[in-house]
Structure 1
Amino acid sequence: MAKDNNSNTKKPKFSSWWVYGLIAILLIGFQFIGSGNLASTRKTTTSELQEYLRNGDVKEIMIITNTRQAKVFLTEEAMAKDVHKDVAEKPFLPSTGAVPQYVLDYGDLQNFENEIKNIKKENNLDTIVDYDTDNNYLMDLLLGILPFVLIIGIWIYLMRRMSGGGGGGAGGQIFNIGKSKAKLFDEKTDTRTSFKDVAGLEGAKEEVEEIVEFLRNPDKYTSLGGKIPKGALLVGPPGTGKTLLAKAVAGEAKVPFFSLSGSDFVEMFVGVGASRVRDLFKQAKDKSPAIIFIDEIDAIGRARGKNNFTGSNDERENTLNQLLTEMDGFGTNTNVIVLAATNRADVLDKALMRAGRFDRQIYVDLPDIRERKEIFEVHLRPIKTSEALDLEFLARQTPGFSGADIANVCNEAALIAARKEKKAVSKQDFLDAVDRIVGGLEKKNKIITPGEKETIAYHEAGHATTSWMLEHAAPLVKVTIVPRGQSLGAAWYLPEERLIVRPEQMLDEMCATMGGRAAEKVIFNKISTGALSDLEKVTKQARAMVTIYGLNEEIGNITYYDSSGQDSYGFSKPYSEDTARKIDKEISKIIEAQYQRAIQVLTENKDKLTILAERLLEKEVIFKEDLEKIFGKRPFDKEFDQKGQEKISDDTTAPDNSALAKEEGEENK
């Protein structure tokens, strides 16, 4: 019995391609048979035909009018001659009609007929001259039915594709456009990321590790009456590791993991987004326990009714409605958990954020100094270093850097070392990488006049002097007048990472920022456009003091900051015109007061400022040691010099004119 089963399995399965192949063979066969009748026919010329006519070898000439071709039939006596030996053989294939021995292409029909008539008359021949047309019925038939065959074939193909996607909602559209585009990760082959590869993020890892435990051992929680959470939302700045954390969940959970982006639901066709949501959750339920990860969910999860001025039905709203229904529709016993990531949680719809849908919001913040050290350990594994690097030192050099920024630093350091023909990466390469990423590429060949260079030197020396003389300003590390990126010079600091900021700290930092323009005023009694980034920074800080943190006595203890982000869609401000004038006046008053304070500090230290600027013009780059030789030991550095492991102030370098230079007001919202 088993033998019969084996014999049945070895039988070839019927395929529609067999039919297509048989039809092609028949067509080729017909064509071959049609042309096989001419297998013993040879092509000749008009002069040869005239010679054959004069010799009396031609029995009949069949003139084909529609192809300008003539068929020549010989007499029995001519077939026995040696000259016609090649065409006297029988054809390879049988034929239903007479087979000509020669064919020739003639030019003008009238001249051809006249020549034949003249030869017949001169030699008194009875050669038959007849006329006919050559018709290819098979080709005419194919040309007639081919368009209908193509139309029917395309229709059958489309019907099969439509039926192959399953019936109703998700797959019932042409080419399965309503099918989900989620990538299903196989825990055995597709992903190797684990929680060991995610450095830092201790709090976030604890949350997602519990989610993994929910799926592995649900009875542990349900036996006590608890319910498995339906969703977790990863929120945080770009590059902090939200997607990496989701990949680690996929590697640790050992369950099917569906990953896709929020933009994968967006399509130009109406109803496709909702259809893909339905299909995604259907697949996840079929493979439960499972995890669904939607990256950049703000693409479809924005608050409904915003920016819809046309009154039309927004396709994204339909997709969001379907997502809300699916998340609250499946039961908790299906073991399907939804993870999502976004850096724009303020724009998400409230219905999406409520308990029962995304039960947990996991905030993934920028790493502190200890977490940055751990991240460096991960990204330095494939880097070939020439020395034992001080990871704590590198962590202090990268304040406000995300995990992605640190990965970029390690990669850039390796590229810099390779560019210098080094065999390994050194500590200086990492410092150069930080300078390159934060400040931009050095432009030593930029054309700067001596007067401009002197102005830049005094501008940067003014920053260095004021920050050195003010207690709460960030201590300086180095100053350079080498153009880097869009800046003509930069002052690099060691800012202290604070959880709260007091007014005197903000004012000292604003004063140090205005030190550049103040130095130009003190030395040259002129100001320039070089302080654009400084003015932008202090204006934002002053506006934050007045309108956000309530640190201004005139405006009082009031804030106009809206954490929900709803005001960003409005055209009106949350205060009157009179208050707006007061705000503008107070912002200007704060900035001007710090500007005058910076002028006073620099005037008192004008001789030291001049020495510092001259040394900067000479060396182009000066460090903290040069300032100590000029100003003496900075009296405010004792808390940095005596810090221990428990009390970390996270001193780091950051350029004053860079995009990553921190504004304390915005940093501590």
Structure 2
Amino acid sequence: MAKENNTGPKKPKFNTWWIYGVIAILLIGFQFFGSGNFANTKKASTSELQEYLRNGDIRKILVITNTRQAKIFLTEEALKKEVHKDVSDQPFSLTATATPQYVVNYGDQQNFENEINDIKKENNLDTELTYDQESNVLTELLLTLLPFVLIIGIWIYLMRRMSGGAGGGAGGQIFNIGKSKAKLFDEKTDTRTSFKDVAGLEGAKEEVEEIVEFLRNPDKYTSLGGKIPKGALLVGPPGTGKTLLAKAVAGEAKVPFFSLSGSDFVEMFVGVGASRVRDLFKQAKDKSPAIIFIDEIDAIGRARGKNNFTGSNDERENTLNQLLTEMDGFGTNTNVIVLAATNRADVLDKALMRAGRFDRQIYVDLPDIRERKEIFEVHLRPIKTAETLDLDFLAKQTPGFSGADIANVCNEAALIAARKEKKAVTKQDFLDAVDRIVGGLEKKNKIITPGEKETIAYHEAGHATVSWMLEHAAPLVKVTIVPRGQSLGAAWYLPEERLIVRPEQMKDEMCATLGGRAAEKVIFNKISTGALSDLEKVTKQARAMVTIYGLNDEIGNITYYDSSGQNEYGFSKPYSEQTALTIDREISKLIEEQYKRAVELLSKNKDKLTELAQRLLEKEVIFKDDLEKIFGKRPFEKDKRLEAEEAAEKEEKANKDLPKSETEK
């Protein structure tokens, strides 16, 4: 039988607030009707009262002592008089007591009584004079019960909130404080991220793809006696795509995916972190096979016993201990895989890093030039470009950029194009976006005196000149004296992406960095504070050469670098005071040598330096072509091109010498 369609109007649902509303209306009505507010009572003055009293119209006077008010009751004969016509009708009242015809407000009670008594004696009246105190039962009841009602109401409200009632969610209230705050990823409702959205990171993608495959088809691996790994740790600098990889796993895996941050375990209450860990793994085991992703795991995974002078880390250590037990302890479910991400792997506890807990450490490094091109392809999909962009060129212009930085470049380029009222994004917008991100916002309206501007021009021209003259210095792209961010001028370079760096390369870079101050010394025979960032950079480089990389003959093949990060908790240096003096001397010697070298280079090419600075003052921004017109082409670029061609020829020859089957592979 078909169901009947209910076409009639829907009845409103019952709500408890209706009861409260009805009670409030009844109380208000009782207050109005019960107090005689609808009665036919008039206010009268004291003189009118005395006149009515002399005429013998008043039967009774009721004095309310606590309100300084007198209620006047007339006689039957007086009610028939024309004067009292307005109050002669019987008023409506819910109270059993009679309603007065007049109400008089008096001042001093003693004077009021004396006046009435005098009139009664003069006219020989038998008017009754009584006293009473008026009380409002409802008001007194409300004043008595209101504090208790408020306390009970607030208590009920808090109880509902704490128990996850109205406005509260599970895990966020006090009765659910030990519950896990992990978000369960739903592939049907949440935005899906797939491995296609992750550009570059080929090695890391292979590792996490295999983890997904473990859960989809475990028999493929366990049939040979292998065990599914317990966990994988994604390690790398910020912005390289660790969380994005985890999102891709959530999008690709056909299993429940629990996502939360390491700070979600932290709470002011003792024992909450460990309780949340237990609840998280209980939920994951109930839905196994499942994946748990903990972002920024260093919030709870920091090495135990470090810097624990006050005992304040006990709660975090308890949370870590529970996590260690859940990952590899008695009763562990092998169908739950834990993914974690951090950029501080050096501070994590050794027990957390061992095999059996995080079996795999996947290093997510900054992208190289090929991977940056792939990342640009992903982020350029939604952007409307005016031309076919040279992605190789953009990848070369962004050395050292992470995936997040490249995404920011693409977004910034679109914003710059929109700011200029363009219909599409051009190549120049991307270059401006790179400048904006690297150097900061352009400040053309900054007030700079002509003398300061000249000093800045020679400073930047000094950088450009020295870097052009040195073989291992990074090739120049452009020089500008337009202020950006906190800098008054800047020189842009395209550094080679080296995996190892030699001492002569580091020295050439230091010399080019000191070229700005050297130019001020050569031209003006004075130096200024404008070289602060340059000095900071070369001091770090020199200290690294001496104390970290062992590139100093005086110190020798010794490094004072501690990759475990435990040095920062120590009170003493890992070398003696005598060695500290030697280190300081060698750092200063190294920097001063490169400074003198820069001064000599600029002294020999003073005329070209001056010409470059004047052109910079004229144009404010100059490029590589301007330097070639003044200095000619760099001889080192030709040598590097020949080396690249020779390497390509050798590779081609080696491929020809291989057997056919090998080359086909």
Is the 1:230–1:332 contact (alpha carbons within 8 Å) kept by the matching residues of 2?
A: no
Is the 1:241–1:404 contact (alpha carbons within 8 Å) kept by the matching residues of 2?
A: yes
Q: How many angstroms does 1:220 deviate by?
A: 4.0
1:405 maps to which residue? Answer: 405
The letter for the 1-side match of 2:277 is: V
Q: How many angstroms does 1:497 deviate by?
A: 0.4
Cα separation, 2, equivalents of 1:419 and 1:12: 53
2:202 maps to which residue? Answer: 202
Residue range with higher mean Cα deviation, 609-618 or 356-365: 609-618
Is the 2:230–2:337 contact (alpha carbons within 8 Å) kept by the matching residues of 1?
A: yes
Residue range with higher mean Cα deviation, 34-43 or 392-401: 34-43
Cα separation, 2, equivalents of 1:154 and 1:450: 69
1:213 maps to which residue? Answer: 213
Is the 1:191–1:250 contact (alpha carbons within 8 Å) kept by the matching residues of 2?
A: no
The letter for the 2-side match of 1:363 is: Y
> Residues 109-128 of structure 1 correspond to what in structure 2 (within 5 A)?
109-128=109-128
Is the 1:443–1:485 contact (alpha carbons within 8 Å) kept by the matching residues of 2?
A: yes
Find out whether 1:619 has 2:616 as its counterpart.
Answer: no
1:653 maps to which residue? Answer: none
Is the 1:158–1:174 contact (alpha carbons within 8 Å) kept by the matching residues of 2?
A: no
Find out whether 1:533 has 2:533 as its counterpart.
Answer: yes
The letter for the 2-side match of 1:131 is: Y
1:396 maps to which residue? Answer: 396
- Alignment deviations for residues 348-375 of structure 1 (CA, whole Å, 9 cap, x no partner): 1112222222222221111111221222
Unaligned runs of 5+ in 2: 649-665
Cα separation, 2, equivalents of 1:43 and 1:286: 79
Q: How many angstroms does 1:44 deviate by?
A: 3.5
> Residues 72-221 of structure 1 correspond to what in structure 2 (within 5 A)?
72-81=72-81, 83-152=83-152, 154=154, 174=174, 176-221=176-221
Taking structure 1 as reference, are residues 427 and 270 closer, same or farther at Cα in structure 2, changes over 3 Å only? same
2:551 maps to which residue? Answer: 551
Q: How many angstroms does 1:14 deviate by?
A: 9.5
- Alignment deviations for residues 240-265 of structure 1 (CA, whole Å, 9 cap, x no partner): 12222222333333544433332233
Find out whether 1:41 has 2:66 as its counterpart.
Answer: no
Taking structure 1 as reference, are residues 433 and 157 closer, same or farther at Cα in structure 2, changes over 3 Å only? closer
- TM-score by length of structure 2 reads 0.85
Q: How many angstroms does 1:440 deviate by?
A: 2.1
Find out whether 1:605 has 2:600 as its counterpart.
Answer: no
Is the 1:191–1:247 contact (alpha carbons within 8 Å) kept by the matching residues of 2?
A: no
Taking structure 1 as reference, are residues 148 and 604 closer, same or farther at Cα in structure 2, changes over 3 Å only? closer
Is the 2:479–2:490 contact (alpha carbons within 8 Å) kept by the matching residues of 1?
A: yes
Taking structure 1 as reference, are residues 112 and 525 closer, same or farther at Cα in structure 2, changes over 3 Å only? closer
Q: How many angstroms does 1:346 deviate by?
A: 0.8
1:490 maps to which residue? Answer: 490
Taking structure 1 as reference, are residues 151 and 623 closer, same or farther at Cα in structure 2, changes over 3 Å only? closer
> Residues 363-378 of structure 1 correspond to what in structure 2 (within 5 A)?
363-378=363-378
Q: How many angstroms does 1:549 deviate by?
A: 2.2
Report the secondary structure of 1:434's partner residue: helix
Is the 1:289–1:335 contact (alpha carbons within 8 Å) kept by the matching residues of 2?
A: yes
Report the secondary structure of 1:637's partner residue: helix
Is the 1:39–1:91 contact (alpha carbons within 8 Å) kept by the matching residues of 2?
A: yes
Find out whether 1:235 has 2:218 as its counterpart.
Answer: no
Is the 2:372–2:395 contact (alpha carbons within 8 Å) kept by the matching residues of 1?
A: yes
Cα separation, 2, equivalents of 1:378 and 1:437: 20
2:466 maps to which residue? Answer: 466
- Alignment deviations for residues 212-243 of structure 1 (CA, whole Å, 9 cap, x no partner): 33344444444444433332222111111222
Percent of matched pairs sharing the same residue: 87
The letter for the 2-side match of 1:425 is: V
Taking structure 1 as reference, are residues 301 and 382 closer, same or farther at Cα in structure 2, changes over 3 Å only? same
- TM-score by length of structure 1 reads 0.85
Q: How many angstroms does 1:438 deviate by?
A: 0.8
2:274 maps to which residue? Answer: 274
Q: How many angstroms does 1:400 deviate by?
A: 0.5
Is the 2:36–2:99 contact (alpha carbons within 8 Å) kept by the matching residues of 1?
A: no
Cα separation, 2, equivalents of 1:243 and 1:272: 25
Taking structure 1 as reference, are residues 18 and 595 closer, same or farther at Cα in structure 2, changes over 3 Å only? closer
Is the 1:255–1:291 contact (alpha carbons within 8 Å) kept by the matching residues of 2?
A: yes
The letter for the 1-side match of 2:64 is: I
Cα separation, 2, equivalents of 1:304 and 1:152: 46
> How many positions carry a matched residue from both structures?
638
Report the secondary structure of 2:204's partner residue: helix
The letter for the 2-side match of 1:275 is: S
Residue range with higher mean Cα deviation, 16-25 or 413-422: 16-25
Taking structure 1 as reference, are residues 382 and 644 closer, same or farther at Cα in structure 2, changes over 3 Å only? farther
Cα separation, 1, equivalents of 2:487 and 2:164: 60
Q: How many angstroms does 1:175 deviate by?
A: 5.5
Cα separation, 2, equivalents of 1:366 and 1:647: 26
Taking structure 1 as reference, are residues 41 and 501 closer, same or farther at Cα in structure 2, changes over 3 Å only? same
Find out whether 1:439 has 2:439 as its counterpart.
Answer: yes
Taking structure 1 as reference, are residues 634 and 158 closer, same or farther at Cα in structure 2, changes over 3 Å only? closer
Is the 2:40–2:90 contact (alpha carbons within 8 Å) kept by the matching residues of 1?
A: yes
Taking structure 1 as reference, are residues 47 and 284 closer, same or farther at Cα in structure 2, changes over 3 Å only? farther
Residue range with higher mean Cα deviation, 392-401 or 245-254: 245-254
Is the 1:163–1:172 contact (alpha carbons within 8 Å) kept by the matching residues of 2?
A: no
- Alignment deviations for residues 115-173 of structure 1 (CA, whole Å, 9 cap, x no partner): 333443444432222111112334334433444444455556666666679xxxx9898
Q: How many angstroms does 1:397 deviate by?
A: 0.7
Taking structure 1 as reference, are residues 571 and 531 closer, same or farther at Cα in structure 2, changes over 3 Å only? same
Cα separation, 2, equivalents of 1:555 and 1:95: 106
- Alignment deviations for residues 446-473 of structure 1 (CA, whole Å, 9 cap, x no partner): 4444444333333322322222222222
Report the secondary structure of 2:306's partner residue: coil
Cα separation, 2, equivalents of 1:416 and 1:13: 54
Q: How many angstroms does 1:347 deviate by?
A: 1.0
Q: How many angstroms does 1:542 deviate by?
A: 2.5
1:564 maps to which residue? Answer: 564
The letter for the 1-side match of 2:69 is: Q
1:578 maps to which residue? Answer: 578
Cα separation, 1, equivalents of 2:435 and 2:612: 22
Cα separation, 2, equivalents of 1:437 and 1:171: 40
- Alignment deviations for residues 505-545 of structure 1 (CA, whole Å, 9 cap, x no partner): 22222232233333334444444443332332223222222
Q: How many angstroms does 1:496 deviate by?
A: 0.9
1:591 maps to which residue? Answer: 591
Taking structure 1 as reference, are residues 236 and 35 closer, same or farther at Cα in structure 2, changes over 3 Å only? same
Taking structure 1 as reference, are residues 197 and 49 closer, same or farther at Cα in structure 2, changes over 3 Å only? farther
Cα separation, 1, equivalents of 2:82 and 2:597: 123
Taking structure 1 as reference, are residues 508 and 153 closer, same or farther at Cα in structure 2, changes over 3 Å only? closer
Residue range with higher mean Cα deviation, 484-493 or 345-354: 484-493
- Structure number with the bigger relative contact order (C-alpha 8 A, sep ≥ 6) is 1
> Residues 337-356 of structure 1 correspond to what in structure 2 (within 5 A)?
337-356=337-356
> Residues 294-313 of structure 1 correspond to what in structure 2 (within 5 A)?
294-311=294-311
Cα separation, 1, equivalents of 2:238 and 2:297: 14
Residue range with higher mean Cα deviation, 306-315 or 558-567: 306-315
Residue range with higher mean Cα deviation, 638-647 or 392-401: 638-647
Taking structure 1 as reference, are residues 126 and 424 closer, same or farther at Cα in structure 2, changes over 3 Å only? same
1:383 maps to which residue? Answer: 383
Q: How many angstroms does 1:403 deviate by?
A: 1.6
Cα separation, 1, equivalents of 2:231 and 2:214: 12
Residue range with higher mean Cα deviation, 198-207 or 599-608: 599-608
Is the 1:227–1:332 contact (alpha carbons within 8 Å) kept by the matching residues of 2?
A: no
Taking structure 1 as reference, are residues 47 and 402 closer, same or farther at Cα in structure 2, changes over 3 Å only? same
Root-mean-square deviation (Å): 3.5
Cα separation, 2, equivalents of 1:480 and 1:327: 55
The letter for the 2-side match of 1:560 is: Y
Q: How many angstroms does 1:93 deviate by?
A: 4.9
- Alignment deviations for residues 299-356 of structure 1 (CA, whole Å, 9 cap, x no partner): 2221111112235563322222232233334855463333222211111111222222
Residue range with higher mean Cα deviation, 37-46 or 268-277: 37-46
Report the secondary structure of 2:307's partner residue: coil
Taking structure 1 as reference, are residues 521 and 318 closer, same or farther at Cα in structure 2, changes over 3 Å only? same
Is the 1:231–1:359 contact (alpha carbons within 8 Å) kept by the matching residues of 2?
A: yes
> Residues 417-436 of structure 1 correspond to what in structure 2 (within 5 A)?
417-436=417-436
Cα separation, 2, equivalents of 1:217 and 1:78: 106
Find out whether 1:638 has 2:643 as its counterpart.
Answer: no
Is the 2:230–2:334 contact (alpha carbons within 8 Å) kept by the matching residues of 1?
A: no
Cα separation, 1, equivalents of 2:87 and 2:276: 72
Report the secondary structure of 1:479's partner residue: strand
